[in-house]
Amino acid sequence: MDINNIKFHHIGFAVKDIHKAITWYKEVLGFDKLLPPGICEMDLMGHTGYRCIIENKNGVCLELEQRTDTTFPNNQSPLISHFSLTVDNIETMREHLKNSNDAFVDSGGAITEKPDKKIMYFTGIDGIRIELIQNK
């Protein structure tokens, strides 16, 4: 396994208003592509609300999360809920993480199968959630 072939995929963070955030990131930073399924309801890591992923022309993605079950933090940076990395083989990475004392594999290392990718979450140092994606 070549763990040096990991690539950045996206970062997810909370926003006050998902529609205003989409417009701002499009107009100011050029994130002009809303990826399927578009804006959808979210039940993610114990939070409810709405989420979407936007992408720029270079393939950089941002996951925007408007949480409806909590107030938005004032006078501080928005909560970063996770970051995502692309890997070549998610099953190999799962085994690598299970054998590591420095990572906690969430839900026993369950891998979610999507039509175009496989997804797995784990918790890294300081409780930061990391999402692994293997594109098909």
Per-residue pLDDT at 82: 79
Domains of the chain: 1-80 (3.10.180.10), 87-136 (no CATH)
Confidence of residue 18 (pLDDT cuts 50, 70, 90): very high
Stretch 62-68: mean pLDDT, rounded? 87
Compute CA distances 114 → 119, 134, 136, whole Å.
8, 10, 9
**Residue 75, both tokens:** 């006078």
CA distance 26 to 45: 27
Residue 26: partners with Cβ closer than 8 Å, 6 or more residues away: 32, 54
pTM of the model: 0.63
Per-residue pLDDT at 99: 80
More confident residue, 75 or 96: 96
